[in-house]
Structure 1
């Protein structure tokens, strides 16, 4: 496939897309990721994916752009990345012994067509003890991760089940991404 661009600096999205055997370049747009007042998580991730795609499409008008944004939601509240250890512990205390949603907005844009979708996966966390939190923080894995965890890493031991797309929780729902690519005729 020629002229496919992943609009992301996420190594996880890169790895996921590579699993599909696609040939693509990476271009990471710099956009404002602030949540708009009253914006729900589904609208937020969709908007950011669409903005990322359009920003890259302006500079690469002949390309097909894949853009995504992933957020966690608990009781319809967006749970971001931990600012520090205390914030990570607060996040884990909220997620502990509960289910939460991981939502990814995916947008595929081409000069003639732009399509986007939002994929939701429910993740269940076990009850986390203070020792669990201390041990997990010490690994360094939670840094820079929405919800302060990586399902594809050490945190998998704390997740008894998910309902939905595993690759969505990692950062790019592969099935839905391919369907969007097909819909814009980027795949033959």
Structure 2
């Protein structure tokens, strides 16, 4: 897409995530945001791929309910919902429940590795057609010094992200050894997948 003037459709990003907003803006799209307000902890699935897909659907459905009162959109409007979890040694990790848990998570990643599984679900509100898919990224870490972990926990941002995992943060970036996949996927919205799904539902 060359310029925003050419965007023939509206986008609603069903997320209050700063990182997702940033990524969608980087992709050159104009959009508005709405948050879903669902109880994510009430939704359980064994497989990370199933969990993130079910959560994205639950978010999309919650927003659709809010929008239904407004009637059918006049223009083509796409709703993008997404979810990300961290997988460590086969276990699904969501946002840390405490500073202690965040510290435990970060200590685990030190000198080790984790993966993120992200889902994207795009719904064409004009036709009702929706399509979703998942993206997985592997992240390998050098040893993370205790001082860096202390600073991260003190700052608090790690308490609000899946698995307490932030790889783009200046305190963590020097200790990221290798990322197998796209950084934007780790941050919660894989660009290539999002673009493909947008094209698919239009």
The TM-score normalised by the length of structure 1 is: 0.90
Residues 69, 105 of structure 1: 8 Å contact kept: yes
Residues 45, 51 of structure 2: 8 Å contact kept: no
Residues 66, 109 of structure 1: 8 Å contact kept: yes
In the TM superposition, residue 20 of structure 1 has moved relative to its aligned partner by 1.3
In the TM superposition, residue 29 of structure 1 has moved relative to its aligned partner by 0.8
Cα distance in 1, alignment partners of residues 147 and 11 from structure 2? 45
Structure 2 spans left out of the alignment, 5+ residues: 1-6
Residues 35, 44 of structure 1: 8 Å contact kept: no
Residues 56, 82 of structure 2: 8 Å contact kept: yes
Q: In the comparison of the two structures, how many residue pairs are matched?
A: 185
In the TM superposition, residue 144 of structure 1 has moved relative to its aligned partner by 0.8
Asked whether 1:142 is paired with 2:166, we answer no
Residues 115, 180 of structure 1: 8 Å contact kept: yes
Residue in structure 2 matched with residue 129 of structure 1 by the alignment: 145
Bigger CA radius of gyration: 2
Asked whether 1:19 is paired with 2:26, we answer yes
Residue in structure 1 matched with residue 81 of structure 2 by the alignment: 67
Residue in structure 1 matched with residue 4 of structure 2 by the alignment: none
CA deviations over 1:85-110 (Å, ceiling 9, x no partner): 21111111222211111011110012
CA deviations over 1:116-174 (Å, ceiling 9, x no partner): 00100001122223233223323333231222232222221221110011100111001
What SS is found at the alignment partner of 1:157?
helix
Distance 1:37 1:4, change over 3 A: closer
Cα distance in 2, alignment partners of residues 43 and 159 from structure 1? 27
CA deviations over 1:24-76 (Å, ceiling 9, x no partner): 11010111212655521111001111221222233334331000001100122
Structure 1 spans left out of the alignment, 5+ residues: none
The TM-score normalised by the length of structure 2 is: 0.84
Residue in structure 2 matched with residue 166 of structure 1 by the alignment: 183
Cα distance in 1, alignment partners of residues 37 and 153 from structure 2? 28
Greater displacement, 128-137 / 174-183: 128-137
